[in-house]
Chain A
């Protein structure tokens, strides 16, 4: 009997539109606890597929019949196996999620943030499965990426569709929670790959060092991407101000939290930099800048149009991490009781440095799980 499938685009649509969905997650319990498809109106049932090999009796009464049920596993095989049995038992509202959590983790939803000067455009790519945010500035046939994630072809194809060629790929810092697509984009398109040199002391490939105050023009209409040294999450962390209106804050400042300083092992050393950046450097910027971070943590941070971002002035009012007066208290907040470190973060850093070159399948495994770059 054939099983109906649901693709991750459909699930992304339901997340953004806050539609409902019953998720039957058949991965083992640890995996589910750690990371799942998050939707405001999603309901969940987690029963590992290996408890359903003999039959679906254990869940027969728990699966609704009056709305869509999405069965999901790690890669799509076990969900199909379980969905098949549900269909045989008479459920006609059951779908197997194509490609499973792996596909969910890789799905990117491009959202237009704004029209820039003289016909330029700014897009945000929301990676719903991992909470990563990447950016593309397009102007007059040229494009630049900022913090592009591993799926390089998505960015290359998107630029092509817009009639643009990627000429610059920027990373705000050396990422520890996901594999950067910046280098692959540069290799495939001939674009210049920029990294902050202080994060790149160990990298094994050619890159262009990104220095404070660097101003790169995209297209002849001169959309400016201006680098602002803003250490704290890493020692090299650099923000970008695009078109004098948008602040790409990398992993330094998020909408509802701030960056953690420990993923390169130097929390104690970098906490001072983090405070300086958040309480001084950023404070000197215009309140009107729209902060566009490299991550979000929960769906509460997603705006109505599906984008993530907020004015700097509002963040200084609302974001707890920007309102800790006492320096000692701040120090404690960002160095103690930190959330667990991201899955395989050391290997991810080494991959981003070019020290190791895992196969695609291995890279996918390394990126499994949520991002954990923030403290709240």
Chain B
């Protein structure tokens, strides 16, 4: 997967991971991939729901020792 931009949201609590994700996705083109790295467990369900409501696609997600990585394809 080609990653076009990476956002480090580690250590941030709600609502900041999504606020920053929203800003970062404005910097890439439709079809490109944004990688978001976060540590807030709430980011998992919120990013999933946010992608759904805002027309982006959560392509993949993984968790490693409390660090969540999300791959979002801009809609």
Contact = CB atoms under 8 A, between A and B. Distances in A.
A74 B49 CA distance: 14
Q: Which of B16, B19, B46, B54 has the most C-beta atoms of chain A within 10 angstroms of its own C-beta?
A: B46
Given A50-B22, A50-B53, A51-B53, A31 B45 contact: yes
B13 A77 contact: yes
A30 interface: yes
Contacts, number: 45
Contact of B46 (A28, A81, A361, A365): A28
B49 A29 contact: yes
A81 B14 CA distance: 9
A81 B15 contact: yes
A71 B54 CA distance: 22
A78 B49 CA distance: 15
B15 A77 contact: yes
B46 A50 contact: yes
| Chain B interface, >50% SS class | helix
Nearest to A74: B42
A50 to B, nearest CB: 4
Interface string B22-61: 1000000000000000000110011001100110000000
Contacts of B49: 28-30, 48, 50
B45 A77 contact: no
A53 interface: yes
Given A50-B22, A53-B18, A53-B22, A75 B50 contact: no
B13 A75 contact: yes
A315 interface: no
Interface string A70-86: 00011101100100000
Interface of A: 28-31, 48-51, 53, 73-75, 77-78, 81, 361, 365
Interface of B: 13-16, 18-19, 22, 41-42, 45-46, 49-50, 53-54
